């Protein structure tokens, strides 16, 4: 692995326990909203501040963009890689003590950049244990982060062939008819696993096989999730693990990036289930 990319992933892994330790005292909302109009928790700003400082300090990092910040921050020293970060994905789960974590995309083009410019991506998942899943050079690896160490627990992670679970975001009455019809079929075949944090739900899909979607909604045709910070990095992992991603008609990695906070309908999981979804839409 390129040293510059390894330094990014190591920094995310070593910062994760400090983010986790800082959650319990930062469950309150501040007076601010992020650029997507979502209220910011003290924990969001805490995680974002640490990751920005530490990632921009790396020689390999040229810029840092975050779901919590309006614009891209350039490093004084330059570098090869451009980071898109969701510092605390699913932070609204903090109140209910459910899963959340960090998503990082490592792009080799200035942002906004499409998913084909990703050279690595990762998510840290704060569950009963802290795990990290990375994708780089056609391989997905799962680690446990414990006692300051990151140790491999799954090499060459691939999505199971036989799907078991599904999780679909948004309100059912707000789903377009074509998605609602697809969902009705899937509900007859798979088990519902939806927890309100994309990375927790996607980790279920990577573990058991299935499909996750936050689809286009009647009230929000571009859906809710952000392309650069959520859609692309997770699509890069799922596709590297042998699955598929789609905005409804093509891989998320092929969606043109025009604006760093642009939203995109997200569908990820077993290839056959995503193929069926595209046929249904």
Binding site for ligand P6P (CB under 6 A): 89-90, 92, 169, 196-198, 214, 224-225
| Residue, CB closest to ligand P6P | 198
Cβ 190 to ligand P6P, closest distance in Å? 17
* Residue 194 assigned as binding residue: yes
* Cβ-based nearer residue to ligand P6P, 90 or 269: 90
| Cα–Cα distance for residue pair 213/225, rounded to 1 Å | 10
* Cβ-based nearer residue to ligand P6P, 68 or 89: 89
* Cβ-based nearer residue to ligand P6P, 12 or 197: 197
Q: Do 64 and 54 meet the contact criterion of CB atoms below 8 Å apart? A: no
* Residue 91 assigned as binding residue: yes
Cβ 79 to ligand P6P, closest distance in Å? 28
Long-range pairs, 136-140, Cβ under 8 A, ≥24: 136/1, 136/5, 136/9, 137/1, 138/240, 139/240, 140/206, 140/237, 140/240, 140/241
Cβ 90 to ligand P6P, closest distance in Å? 4
* Residue 88 assigned as binding residue: yes
Cβ 39 to ligand P6P, closest distance in Å? 11
* Residue 67 assigned as binding residue: yes
* Cβ-based nearer residue to ligand P6P, 144 or 220: 220
* Residue 89 assigned as binding residue: yes
Decide the pairing of beta strands 118-126 and 130-136.
Answer: antiparallel
| Cα–Cα distance for residue pair 204/155, rounded to 1 Å | 17
Q: Where are the alpha helices (DSSP H) in 81-212?
A: 177-189, 198-208
* Cβ-based nearer residue to ligand P6P, 60 or 69: 69
Cβ 179 to ligand P6P, closest distance in Å? 15
Dihedral sign computed on CA atoms, order 23, 170, 69, 205: positive
* Residue 278 assigned as binding residue: no
Within 8 A by CB and 6+ apart from 103, the residues are: 85, 86, 89, 121, 122, 123, 198, 199, 229, 230, 233, 234
Residue numbers in the known binding site for Mg(2+) are 67, 86, 88-89, 230
Residue numbers in the known binding site are 67, 86, 88-92, 194, 224, 230
Residue numbers in the known binding site for substrate are 89-92, 194, 224
């Amino acid at each position: 692995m390129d040293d510059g990319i390894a330094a990014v992933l190591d920094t995310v892994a070593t910062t994760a326990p400090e983010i986790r330790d800082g959650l319990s005292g930062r469950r309150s909302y501040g007076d601010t909203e992020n650029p997507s109009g979502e209220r910011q928790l003290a924990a969001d700003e805490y995680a974002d501040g640490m990751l920005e400082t530490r990632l921009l300090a790396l020689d390999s990092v040229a810029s840092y963009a975050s779901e919590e910040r309006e614009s891209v921050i350039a490093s004084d020293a330059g570098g090869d890689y451009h980071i898109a970060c969701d510092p605390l994905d699913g932070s609204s789960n903090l109140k209910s003590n459910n899963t959340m974590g960090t998503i990082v995309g490592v792009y080799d083009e200035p942002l906004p950049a499409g998913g084909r410019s990703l050279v690595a991506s990762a998510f840290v998942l704060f569950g009963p244990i802290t795990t990290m899943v990375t994708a780089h050079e056609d391989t997905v690896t799962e680690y446990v982060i414990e006692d300051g160490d990151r140790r491999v627990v799954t090499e060459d992670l691939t999505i199971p062939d036989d799907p078991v679970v599904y999780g679909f975001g948004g309100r059912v009455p707000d789903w377009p008819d074509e998605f609602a019809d697809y969902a009705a079929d899937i509900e007859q075949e798979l088990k519902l696993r939806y927890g309100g944090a994309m990375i927790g739900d996607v980790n279920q899909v990577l573990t058991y096989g299935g499909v996750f979607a936050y689809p286009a909604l009647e009230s929000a045709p571009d859906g809710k999730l952000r392309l650069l910070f959520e859609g692309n990095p997770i699509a890069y992992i799922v596709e590297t693990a042998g699955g598929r991603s789609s905005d409804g008609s093509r891989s998320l990695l092929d969606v043109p990036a025009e604006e760093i906070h642009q939203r995109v309908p997200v569908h990820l999981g077993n290839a056959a289930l995503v193929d069926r979804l595209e046929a249904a839409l």
